[in-house]
Amino acid sequence: NGAGIAAPQVGRALAIAVVHVKDNPRYPYKPNVPLTIFVNPKLTMLTDETASIYEGCLSVPGVRGRVNRVMHVRVDAWDREGNPMSFETRGLTAGTYQHEFDHLEGRLFLDRVDDPQTLTTWPNYEAFHKASFEVEARAIVSQFGD
């Protein structure tokens, strides 16, 4: 029930990441993203506009925290057949790509949390933050799409 994974998360020193979201019950507000594999990706920020998003990570189970993510990015990479690909994405999906590509640079979402007071366990997130964040997340999707 993640949104993606990067090679370093499974012990491989390769610049490969995968993003895939399909009706994810853990993140019901996230738009679907078809299975996409990226080799040697480059991310270009296309705006200064950011949103504060609660994130978690398969590498840091049971913890959530707020991270500011840029809301419009371009992805340039190679697909798994070695063909170049380039596209733009916005909103929560842009945040998902940033999260996965951070792993390729040795970063976890914890490194991006501006306010450590937003760090919470998954049970506390569900009890105290989930409902209000889902409203925020749906507003981001409504505003930016993707």
Q: Confirm if 38 and 98 have CB atoms less than 8 A apart.
A: no
- Rounded to the nearest 5 degrees, what angle is found at the Cα of 65, between the Cα atoms of 76 and 41? 10
**Catalytic hit among 55, 81, 100, 136:** 100
Q: Which residues contact 30 (CB under 8 A, 6 or more apart)?
A: 3, 21, 24, 92, 93, 96, 137
Q: Which two tokens stand for residue 69?
A: 């993510």
Told to judge if 81 belongs to the known catalytic residues of this protein, a careful annotator would answer: no
Decide the pairing of beta strands 84-90 and 33-45: unpaired
Which residues are known to be catalytic?
100
